[in-house]
């Protein structure tokens, strides 16, 4: 089984943001000293980074689901949650990131190109982490002094991407099957490709590092090509893309083939035709040299066979007339390999300088337009009527006659994710935000009526509810009477008792007033007792009175006294 993987589908998800805290600070003599809930931590992001130490995408074939760490929730005492750690995923240089297209449960196909990680250290954020929710201390203001809620953290971005590896090598060895490409790369480098005497032995590209004096370059052994490869025949397009990033194309031609309809010239022309057909459909990266303009060299192989050597000597002048350098070699006897090695090193050095010059020129020629940054200005999109809005509202219907209004916009979708719908105050806060943004006015303009179904967002993250434009954000009594603005606590009002801390003099005055009041009550009670206006309830004056505190309703026994000596009436 091959362990080279050059295209995989990866499901990436950024970490969720932590929830904010709705904590309340408490102090001595001050049961509600104000909000002190901290913010939630941001979630980590999934980031692809080009790394020269990564050689294939095999790890993502076995572990296609990658999730970054989530942020932690905020705490009381104004403690913010910690940020989730970013998930750094190394990929080989030359990896292209595509958006995955396809229905759920079906194989994905590449869509829009998202990033081209060509150089060491190139980065792409594939799935951004969610923002942490604000705590109630961040939501407090002059009118909302004690918020009893906090915002929830946003969910991390989640999607499928396709990673496609286009090998970055200095020299690409192309040729018919069994032309000796694997033998050549094994003779010139430390690579150990599979070598056998049957076609299509090489099923995956092989990379080898070649040293020529103090210079180093890489060779890519592209699997054997045949006529029709640009239309997908043979291994076809599966590996033709690996020559897109190479700077030099080396034709390895088998001069010892026994097939009657093949010769070095026809082999070269057939492969050049396939390369030209394939190059016509390419979109080359910035500064890249088009395939037809890249230098070619001809490598006539297997000249250890006498007939092959004669044929190589015969066709060499024909290739030189076309302006190409020709090398006659044998991978079995290593004839001509030293000259080929140093010639390739010189050509690679020149091409590297040319590519660097082209990239610099393209970068300088590019015009980058950046919008002016103005504080306080919001980015808006124009709807079909030309009005500037931060959102769009459309009336949707299904085949059953049901309808709803769909609200799409970055702000409304983010706000509903941050709302705790179990908290009435948080729901009222959301209603105020949507009304201030203009959602309610736009719903009325679109014909929405109270009770109609409203959906904010799309897909699994959409929130559905019945529209109630009269919803109040402030607290209400049981009879519906509002008690104040949202988040208002009567204990924090300036004229409310306990709103501020009393001084020692005020405490002494209040204490003395309380003691004087108690003494006055005791004196009044004693005067009433002495005047007989009221009796001590602990004394049972009349046991026969059923209405008395201790009355038992006993019968009257005239002239007799009880055993206890009490007078009987």
The whole model's pTM is what? 0.66
Residue ranges in 103-180 assigned as alpha helix (H): 136-139
Residue 65 is predicted with a pLDDT of 94
Helices (H) and strands (E) in the chain, counts: 11, 20
Tell me the pairing of strands 215-221 and 171-174: parallel
> Would you say 218 is a known binding-site residue?
no
Residue 436 is predicted with a pLDDT of 86
CA 118 – CA 200 distance, rounded (Å): 29
The torsion defined by the Cα of 408, 413, 419 and 422, in degrees rounded to 10, comes to 50
Q: Comparing C-alpha atoms, which of 123, 108, 110 is closest to residue 51?
A: 123
Question: What are 12's strand-pairing partners?
Answer: 66, 159
CA 292 – CA 478 distance, rounded (Å): 81
Angle between helices 424-437 and 410-417 (to 10 degrees): 170
Q: Comparing C-alpha atoms, which of 507, 431, 208 is closest to residue 331?
A: 208
Contacts of 107 by beta carbon, 8 Å cutoff, 6+ apart: none
> Would you say 35 is a known binding-site residue?
no
> Would you say 537 is a known binding-site residue?
no
> Would you say 281 is a known binding-site residue?
no
> Would you say 470 is a known binding-site residue?
no
SS (H, E, C) 304-320: CCHHHHHHHHHHHHHHH
CB 64 within 8 A of CB 8: yes
Residue 535 is predicted with a pLDDT of 58
CATH number of 169-363, picked from 3.40.50.300, 3.30.390.30, 3.40.190.10, 3.30.2130.10: 3.40.50.300
Q: How far, CA to CA in Å, does 110 sit from each of 8, 89, 454?
A: 10, 20, 34
Fold match between 7-165 and 391-479?
Answer: no
User: What architecture does CATH give domain 391-479?
Assistant: 2-Layer Sandwich (3.30)
> Would you say 203 is a known binding-site residue?
yes
Q: Comparing C-alpha atoms, which of 233, 234, 204 is closest to residue 220?
A: 204
Residue 365 is predicted with a pLDDT of 63
> Would you say 211 is a known binding-site residue?
no
> Would you say 169 is a known binding-site residue?
no
> Would you say 224 is a known binding-site residue?
yes
The torsion defined by the Cα of 273, 277, 280 and 284, in degrees rounded to 10, comes to -80
CB 191 within 8 A of CB 181: no
Q: Comparing C-alpha atoms, which of 205, 223, 125, 114 is closest to residue 163?
A: 114
> Would you say 160 is a known binding-site residue?
no
> Would you say 332 is a known binding-site residue?
yes
> Would you say 541 is a known binding-site residue?
no
> Would you say 438 is a known binding-site residue?
no
> Would you say 180 is a known binding-site residue?
yes
> Would you say 209 is a known binding-site residue?
no
CB 118 within 8 A of CB 362: no
> Would you say 176 is a known binding-site residue?
yes
Domain boundaries, the chain: 7-165, 169-363, 391-479
> Would you say 252 is a known binding-site residue?
no
> Would you say 181 is a known binding-site residue?
yes
Residue 9 is predicted with a pLDDT of 92
Residue 213 is predicted with a pLDDT of 83
> Would you say 452 is a known binding-site residue?
no
Residue 80 is predicted with a pLDDT of 93
Tell me the pairing of strands 95-101 and 109-117: antiparallel
> Would you say 419 is a known binding-site residue?
no
Q: What is the pLDDT of residues 152-168, one digit of tens each?
A: 999 999 999 999 887 66
Q: What is the pLDDT of residues 23-48, one digit of tens each?
A: 888 877 766 678 889 999 999 999 99
How many CB atoms within 10 Å of residue 331?
A: 24
CATH class of 7-165: mainly beta
CA 235 – CA 226 distance, rounded (Å): 8
Residue 490 is predicted with a pLDDT of 47
Residue 564 is predicted with a pLDDT of 44
Residue 152 is predicted with a pLDDT of 93
> Would you say 178 is a known binding-site residue?
yes
Q: For 437-453, give the DSSP string.
A: HTHHHHHHHTT--TT-E
| pLDDT in 10s for each residue of the chain, 569 residues | 345 577 899 999 999 999 999 988 887 776 667 888 999 999 999 999 999 888 778 889 889 999 999 999 999 888 999 999 999 999 988 888 999 988 777 788 888 889 888 888 999 999 999 999 999 899 888 877 778 889 999 999 999 999 988 766 788 888 887 777 888 888 887 766 555 454 444 555 677 788 888 888 888 777 656 554 444 444 444 556 667 777 888 888 888 877 777 788 888 888 888 777 776 655 565 556 777 788 888 988 888 888 888 888 888 888 888 888 889 888 888 888 888 889 888 988 888 888 778 777 776 666 666 555 444 434 444 444 444 467 888 888 887 878 888 888 888 888 988 988 888 888 888 888 888 888 888 888 888 888 888 888 887 778 888 887 765 544 443 344 444 444 445 445 555 555 566 788 988 999 999 999 999 999 988 887 777 666 566 655 555 556 555 555 555 455 544 444 444 44
Residue 479 is predicted with a pLDDT of 43
> Would you say 20 is a known binding-site residue?
no
Tell me the pairing of strands 87-91 and 46-50: parallel
């Amino acid at each position: 089984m091959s362990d080279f993987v050059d295209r995989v589908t990866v499901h990436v998800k950024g970490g969720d943001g932590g929830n904010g805290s709705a904590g309340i600070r408490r102090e001595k003599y001050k049961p509600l000293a104000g909000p002190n809930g901290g913010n939630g931590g941001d979630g980590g992001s999934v980031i692809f980074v080009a790394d020269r130490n990564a050689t294939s995408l095999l790890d993502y074939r076995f572990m296609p689901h990658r999730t970054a760490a989530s942020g932690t929730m905020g705490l009381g005492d104004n403690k913010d949650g910690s940020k989730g750690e970013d998930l750094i995923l190394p990929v080989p240089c030359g990896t292209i990131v595509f958006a995955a297209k396809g229905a759920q449960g079906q194989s994905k196909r590449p869509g829009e190109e998202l990033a081209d990680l060509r150089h060491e250290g190139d980065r792409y954020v594939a799935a951004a982490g969610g923002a942490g929710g604000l705590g109630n201390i961040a939501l407090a203001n002059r009118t909302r002094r004690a918020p009893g809620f906090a915002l929830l953290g946003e969910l991390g971005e989640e999607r499928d991407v396709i990673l496609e590896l286009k090998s970055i090598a200095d020299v690409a060895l192309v040729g018919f099957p069994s032309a000796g490409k694997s033998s050549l790369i094994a003779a010139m480098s430390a690579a150990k490709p599979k070598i056998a005497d049957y076609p299509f032995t090489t099923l995956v590209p092989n990379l080898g590092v070649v040293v020529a004096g103090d210079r180093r370059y890489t060779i890519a052994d592209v699997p054997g090509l045949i006529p029709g490869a640009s239309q997908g025949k043979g291994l076809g397009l599966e590996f033709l893309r690996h020559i897109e990033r190479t700077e030099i194309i080396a034709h390895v031609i088998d001069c010892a083939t026994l097939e009657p309809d093949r010769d070095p010239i026809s082999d070269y022309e057939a492969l050049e035709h396939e390369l030209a057909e394939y190059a016509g459909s390419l979109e080359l990266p910035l500064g890249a040299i088009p395939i037809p303009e890249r230098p070619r060299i001809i490598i006539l192989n297997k000249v250890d066979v006498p007939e092959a050597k004669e044929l190589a000597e015969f066709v060499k002048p024909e290739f030189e007339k076309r302006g190409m350098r020709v090398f006659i070699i044998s991978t079995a006897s290593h004839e001509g390999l030293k000259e080929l090695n140093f010639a390739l090193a010189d050509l690679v050095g020149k091409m590297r300088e040319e590519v660097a010059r082209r990239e610099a020129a393209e970068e300088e020629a590019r015009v980058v337009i950046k919008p002016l940054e103005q504080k306080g200005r919001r980015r808006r999109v124009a709807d079909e009527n030309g009005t500037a809005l931060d959102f769009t509202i459309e009336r949707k219907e299904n085949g059953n006659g049901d309808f709803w209004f769909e609200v799409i916009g970055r702000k409304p979708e983010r706000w509903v994710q941050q709302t705790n719908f179990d908290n009435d105050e948080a729901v009222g806060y959301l209603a105020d935000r949507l009304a201030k943004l203009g959602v309610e006015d736009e719903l009325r303009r679109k014909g929405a009526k109270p009770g109609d179904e409203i959906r904010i967002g799309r897909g699994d993250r959409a929130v559905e509810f019945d529209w109630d434009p009269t919803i109040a954000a402030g607290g209400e009594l049981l009879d519906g009477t509002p008690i104040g603005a949202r988040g208002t606590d009567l204990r924090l009002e300036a004229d409310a008792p306990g709103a501020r801390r009393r001084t020692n003099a005020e405490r002494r005055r209040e204490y003395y007033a309380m003691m004087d009041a108690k003494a006055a009550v005791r004196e009044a009670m004693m005067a009433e007792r002495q005047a007989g206006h009221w009796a001590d309830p602990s004394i049972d004056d009349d046991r026969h009175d059923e209405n008395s505190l201790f009355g038992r309703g006993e019968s009257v026994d005239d002239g007799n006294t009880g055993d206890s000596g009490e007078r009987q009436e």
